[in-house]
Amino acid sequence: MKWLWRIKGWLLVILGIVISVGLYVRSQSSGETKKGLAMGTISRADLIQRVTFSGGIVAARTTIIQAPYDGYIQKIFVNVGDNVASGQPIISMSQTATNEHSAEIFPLRAPFAGTVTQINKTVGQFVSKNFSENNDSTLLRIDDMTRLMVKSDVPEIDYPKLKVGQSVIVKATSVPSKTYRGVIRTVAKASRQAVRWERNKVEFEVTVVIEDADQNLAPGMSALIDVITNEVKDAVVVRHEFLQQKGDTYFVTLENGNKVDIEVGIQNDEFFQVIKGVSEGQKVMPIDFANL
């Protein structure tokens, strides 16, 4: 029986060695995998810096025709969607429900050429010239659709990056399948006046002209503006998660553990441009947040 116990003992020893070796190999393999996944490489890429903000589409000119006095709608000469010329009759009113005893009626006329975009009243309806919660004195609206623009309020952090004449991409929320070309027409020189409870919200008004607007766009639609404010082709770059900052100095940690100061250029949501300090192909370590 002694020989049987000796065999069992040797088998246990051998099994322990096999398990130990297996665990060691596994731990080494796991460590190398994690290390390989964690390391980063200084690379090259086209670095694009962009600003994105939202706004509302407006016409070049808009007018709201309101009741000049209290009275009744006698005739509406136009329909929604009609193009009207400057001076063309659009609506007439009288102070009585019928005009047989009233003086001659002179119709209200379009102040400029445009498109009738809203008609708010019907023939025979009484209207008051005084606007109130229960009374809207608006008769109809005319928009000059020959040029459409986007009005937007841009946060102060993005304001210095925007300049008159910059090209932009316009995307209307209601036309997701198409983009439009635009140009920044105006950038306000002073921030919009904020109400008391929004004093920490500083914004500047920006106007963008849509260069290739079509019939799919209309005043009042919401739009997204995308502006490329800077671009560097074939730049040496490092991803954000490998770059650290101490005061005004940026640095990376190389594969051997050495920390190297670098000079950075422009940045976007993914990369920093590297001006000098490291070269393409060098391996860098990620930020160790546990030991910061």
**Domain ranges, residue 216:** 51-57+147-230
Q: Which of 125, 145, 165 is the last residue of a domain?
A: 145
Q: Both 68 and 108 in a single domain?
A: yes
Share of the chain above pLDDT 70, in %: 79
Q: Among 10-19, 66-75, 111-120, 190-199, which range has the highest average pLDDT?
A: 111-120
Is residue 9 one of the residues assigned to a domain? Answer: no
Write down the mean pLDDT value for the chain. Answer: 83
Q: Both 82 and 131 in a single domain?
A: yes
**Better-predicted residue by pLDDT, 23 or 161:** 161
Q: Both 188 and 167 in a single domain?
A: yes
pTM, to two decimals: 0.68
What CATH number has the domain bearing residue 270?
2.40.420.20
Q: Both 109 and 171 in a single domain?
A: no
Q: Which of 83, 116, 145 is the last residue of a domain?
A: 145
Collapsed DSSP state (helix, strand, coil) of residue 273: strand
Please write the tens of the pLDDT for every residue from 167-206.
999 999 999 999 999 999 999 999 877 665 556 688 999 9
Q: Which of 111, 145, 179 is the last residue of a domain?
A: 145
Residues 152 and 130 sit within 8 Å (Cβ to Cβ): no
Query: In this model, does residue 30 exceed pLDDT 50?
Result: no
89 φ/ψ sector (left φ>0, alpha ψ -120 to 50, else beta): beta
DSSP string, 99-156: SSSSPPP--EE-SSSEEEEEE---TT-EE-SS-BTTB--EEEEEEEEEEEEEEEEEET
Please write the tens of the pLDDT for every residue from 205-229.
999 999 999 999 999 999 999 998 8
Is residue 193 one of the residues assigned to a domain? Answer: yes
Total domains present in the chain: 3
